[in-house]
């Protein structure tokens, strides 16, 4: 399968600060990347779909001004959690998808554990 990296793997920050998480597609050009959030012992919750060169599409209930997504190249998407608060603490996972036509397969990064103090 495709190789996807995320950086950092773990981050601890103070309340009110912003945190940027990078997602890189290492072995193919990903026209579409997805950002998920996962709470302990729960399934993945899709936050947004990131398309290269255009604005991200956010799922209902996800604040786009709080979770800024940038997909500036075919191999890199970033998620910035702005003015983070303890309730933003979670496991954030990105995934990549090849250019269409696609069967929908997504390849996932290893995740980023965010802890907001």
Partner 1 sequence: AQSVTQLGSHVSVSEGALVLLRCNYSSSVPPYLFWYVQYPNQGLQLLLKYTSAATLVKGINGFEAEFKKSETSFHLTKPSAHMSDAAEYFCAVSDPLKAAGNKLTFGGGTRVLVKP
- 81 lies in the site for partner 1, by CB under 8 A: no
Which residues inside 41-80 make contact with partner 1, applying CB under 8 A?
A: 41-44, 46, 49, 51, 57
CB of 4 to partner 1, least distance (A): 7
d(CA 93, CA 73): 18
Binder among 79, 90, 109, 116 for partner 1 (CB under 8 A) = 109
Size of the site for partner 1 (CB under 8 A): 32
> Shortest Cβ distance from residue 27 to partner 1 (Å)?
14
Per CB under 8 A, which of residues 1..40 are in contact with partner 1?
1, 4, 6, 31-32, 34
d(CA 77, CA 19): 14
**Contact between residue 81 and residue 18 where contact means Cβ atoms under 8 Å apart:** yes
Q: How far is CA 15 from CA 12, 19, 69, 103, in A?
A: 10, 10, 20, 40
CA distance 105 to 92: 19
Per the DSSP assignment, residues forming a β-bridge with 10 are: 113
Sites of contact with partner 1 (CB under 8 A): 1, 4, 6, 31-32, 34, 41-44, 46, 49, 51, 57, 91, 93, 95, 97, 99-111, 113
């Amino acid at each position: 399968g495709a190789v996807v990296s995320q950086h950092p793997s773990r981050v601890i920050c103070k309340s009110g600060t912003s945190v940027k998480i990078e997602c890189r597609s290492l072995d193919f050009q990903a026209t579409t990347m997805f950002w998920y959030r996962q709470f302990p012992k729960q399934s993945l919750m899709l936050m947004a779909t990131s398309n290269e060169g255009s604005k991200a599409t956010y799922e209902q209930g996800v604040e786009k001004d709080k979770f800024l997504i940038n997909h500036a190249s075919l191999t890199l998407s970033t998620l910035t959690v702005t003015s983070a608060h303890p309730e933003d603490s979670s496991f954030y996972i990105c995934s990549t998808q090849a250019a269409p036509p696609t069967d929908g397969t997504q390849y996932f990064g290893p995740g980023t554990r965010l802890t907001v103090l």
